[in-house]
Amino acid sequence: MDIIETIKDQIASNTVLLYMKGAPNAPQCGFSAKASQALMACGEKFAYVDILQNPEIRANLPKYANWPTFPQLWVDGELVGGSDIITEMQADGSLQKLVKDAVAKNTTA
């Protein structure tokens, strides 16, 4: 499978997916730490891909997503954004609503 197909499959297969440096319990950069903490605070399970362990994804996802930086949060197949957007959404409550609604929709569907 080509790397773009792999990325598309990961995004399609996971309701909430965070591409990050490291893992949620061991992030490898401050931005990934903030993003994963914000997601964990939503109280729903989410998938993640450690781009440091996946150099092909690290090289190709920015082109596919048209988003140059990491972390990248994808919810229901749509790019939400990076660390700053995730943090802002957590602060105003919209992140938790987005995540919970997506998980609920995909659990009952």
Q: Write b or e for each residue in 81-98: b if 16 or more Cβ atoms lie within 10 A of its Cβ, otherwise e.
A: bbbeebbebbeeeebbeb
Q: Is 34 annotated as a binding residue?
A: no
Pair 37, 75: CB distance under 8 Å: no
Q: Is 92 annotated as a binding residue?
A: no
Q: Is 58 annotated as a binding residue?
A: yes
- Kindly state the tokens that stand for 49: 């891909």
What CA–CA distance (Å, rounded) separates 109 from 103? 10
Q: Is 42 annotated as a binding residue?
A: no
What CA–CA distance (Å, rounded) separates 36 from 103? 17
Which residues are annotated binding-site positions for [2Fe-2S] cluster? 29
Bind-site residues? 21, 29, 58, 70, 83-84
